[in-house]
Amino acid sequence: MSTESDRGAVNASQTVTEKDREFLRGCVGLAQEALTAGDEPFGSLLVDESGTVRFRDRNRVKDGDATRHPEFEIARWAAENLSPHERRTSVVYTSGEHCPMCSAAHAWVG
| Total domain count, the chain | 1
The answer to whether residue 42 sits within a structural domain is yes
Phi, psi of 46 (to 5 degrees): -110, 120
Q: Which residues pair with 91 in a beta bridge?
A: 47
Supply the pLDDT for residue 1: 39
**DSSP secondary structure letters along 58-108:** E---TTS-TT--HHHHHHHHHHHHS-HHHHHT-EEEESSPPPHHHHHHHHH
Phi-psi region of 36 (alpha: psi -120 to 50; beta: other; left: phi over 0): alpha
The answer to whether residue 2 sits within a structural domain is no
Supply the pLDDT for residue 61: 95
Q: How far is CA 108 from the centre of its chain?
A: 15
The answer to whether residue 10 sits within a structural domain is no
Supply the pLDDT for residue 96: 92
Per 3-state DSSP, what percentage of the chain is helix, strand, and coil (rounded to 5)? 50, 15, 35
Per-residue pLDDT of the chain (110 residues; tens, 9 = 90+): 333 444 344 445 689 999 999 999 999 999 999 999 999 999 999 999 999 999 999 999 999 999 999 999 999 999 999 999 999 999 999 999 989 999 999 999 98
The answer to whether residue 59 sits within a structural domain is yes
The answer to whether residue 8 sits within a structural domain is no
CA dist 12 and 61 (Å) reads 37
CATH number of residue 54's parent domain: 3.40.140.10
Domain interval for residue 63: 18-109
Supply the pLDDT for residue 14: 80
pTM: 0.84
